[in-house]
Amino acid sequence: MNVVLIGSGGREHAIAYKISESKLLDKLFVIPGNPGTEKYGNNVNLDYSNQEIIIEFCKINEVKLVIIGPEIPLVDGLADSLRANEINVFGPNKKAAEIEGDKSFSKNLMKKYSIPTATFKVFTKEEYNSALEYLSKISYPTVIKASGLAAGKGVAICESKVYAEIYVKQCFNESLFGSSGETIVIEEFLQGEETSIFAITDGDNFVLLPAAQDHKRRFDGDIGPNTGGMGAYAPAPLVTEEILKRVTEKVIIPTLKAMKSEGRKYNGCLYAGLMIHNGQPSVVEFNCRFGDPETQVVLPIIEGDFLELLSSTAKGNINKESISVSNKNAITVVAASDGYPGSYKKGFEITGIEEVESENVIVFHAGTKLDDGKLKTNGGRVLNVTAISDRSLINAKQIVYSAISKIDFKGMVFRKDISDKAKIIK
């Protein structure tokens, strides 16, 4: 089959890598893709926010499946438009994608259907004074989230009432996140360890992929500002068989039933960001797509036909037997531009990738570009250096840091403690 993959980051590179293994694949088009995805298909420089152009391209090229990577086109309804033109899509429709696109909807859904999550209260811009009053009644730290999409930057952990008031003012009065911050969620700070679990679902049945753990903070020891993710590892030993059973029974099954009851039947990847405390899961957030950088460690330890899994899901009849989970471990470390997640410079030549790539090391491109035949930096998160080991997580860590030490670009920075949490968990 001919397949279109929407997106240009490390997540999309990882998806392209995995589906390229399938015998079902004839041609892969990545829109717009990056220098890494060119190894597996044809990059096509189209604006995926223009839904008519994407539909026309799919019809001309006899595309049988579209896989949508990022959240914005899902929230904007690209899946709906494609399905209206009888093109199969892996990814939820616009109403279902609100589980990420509107945090107030997501939190109210969980409250209505008794899905475990932090206690919360929603405020709109017009309720500014009420929000400030509420801040005087709660304990700290507290978490404040912009309700709309904010590129992973709309969440603040506020250690004090003063900080919380400043953040609310930034959202409401200073338009820190534009319209996305005109509604906010103030919620309880949950204790425990975070984990990410992907459920691939046709809305009724589902397959859970291995649990991963992301590292959001910029610096070692989980300090500094939040980022889109500085690295991840899988499987996370935090999620035992017993905890996975609780996640299934208390989170995944009730959420899919809730979405169906609300007329928002979910088809695609439901990403559950969870906090595990005393063996009990609570939902931190839901996302309507694969996580980044978790995808870069989950997919390399999957065996079978991943494209068959996505295609059968898109058709509404998931083939749960199409994949299995190996006994391998994977770690990805993000090589970022100095200054990220704040301001940073682009355009520096990248060297060393060809030297390190092997059967056990894959370098997924995130923010790169080709300029006069040379690979250069083009983003905050530049590369995801991923190591796979059939021996242990410790061995995977040795492999990944040996590899990243041989890669270089001006201003390259990375965390040196990715996966160390696993030792604490054990």
341 lies in the same domain as 396: yes
For every residue of 73-141, DSSP letters joined together read HHHTTHHHHHHHTT-EEES--HHHHHHHH-HHHHHHHHHHTT--B--EEEEEGGGHHHHHHHHTTS-SS
Residues of the chain with pLDDT > 70, as a percent, come to 99
Nearest residue to 177 via CA among 132, 143, 146: 146
87 lies in the same domain as 135: no
Task: Please give the tally of structural domains in the chain.
Answer: 3
Q: Is residue 104 part of a domain?
A: no
Select from 43, 72, 91 the last residue of a domain: 91
146 lies in the same domain as 256: no
Cβ within 8 Å of residue 312, ≥6 positions away: 202, 318, 319, 322
198 lies in the same domain as 239: yes
171 lies in the same domain as 262: no
Q: What burial class does residue 203 get, using C-beta atoms within 10 Å of its C-beta: 0-12 exposed, 13-18 middle, 19+ buried?
A: buried
Would residue 203 be called left, alpha or beta, if left means φ above 0 and alpha means ψ between -120 and 50 degrees?
Answer: left
pLDDT of 426 higher than 50: no
Q: Which helix (H) or strand (E) holds 261?
A: helix 253-261
The least confident of 70-84, 114-128, 146-160, 202-216 is 146-160
Q: Is residue 138 part of a domain?
A: yes
For 300-353, the pLDDT digits (tens) are 999 999 999 999 999 999 999 999 999 999 999 999 999 999 999 999 999 999
- pLDDT grade for 151, boundaries at 50, 70 and 90: confident
Domain extent for 337: 193-425
C-alpha to C-alpha distance for 418 and 414, rounded to whole angstroms = 9
Residues of the chain with pLDDT > 90, as a percent, come to 96
- pLDDT grade for 154, boundaries at 50, 70 and 90: confident
374 lies in the same domain as 398: yes
Query: For residues 298 and 212, is the Cβ–Cβ distance under 8 A?
Result: yes
Query: For residues 243 and 194, is the Cβ–Cβ distance under 8 A?
Result: no
Residue showing tokens 């696993």 = 422
For 96-118, the pLDDT digits (tens) are 999 999 999 999 999 999 999 99
pTM: 0.95
H helix intervals, 113-240: 128-135, 161-172
Domain at 198, CATH number: 3.30.470.20
Cβ within 8 Å of residue 48, ≥6 positions away: 6, 7, 31, 32, 54, 73, 78
Q: Is residue 15 part of a domain?
A: yes
362 lies in the same domain as 414: yes
184 lies in the same domain as 214: no
Cβ within 8 Å of residue 133, ≥6 positions away: none
Other C-beta atoms within 10 Å of 82: how many? 26
Domain at 87, CATH number: 3.40.50.20
pLDDT of 219 higher than 80: yes
pLDDT of 296 higher than 70: yes
Cβ within 8 Å of residue 406, ≥6 positions away: 352, 355, 356
Q: Is residue 294 part of a domain?
A: yes
For 225-258, the pLDDT digits (tens) are 889 999 999 999 999 999 999 999 999 999 999 9
C-alpha to C-alpha distance for 319 and 373, rounded to whole angstroms = 42
Residue showing tokens 């899946």 = 79
Q: Is residue 108 part of a domain?
A: no
317 lies in the same domain as 239: yes
Q: What is the pLDDT of residue 423?
A: 67
Residue showing tokens 């691939």 = 200
143 lies in the same domain as 291: no
- pLDDT grade for 424, boundaries at 50, 70 and 90: low
176 lies in the same domain as 291: no
Whole-number mean pLDDT of the chain? 96
205 lies in the same domain as 304: yes
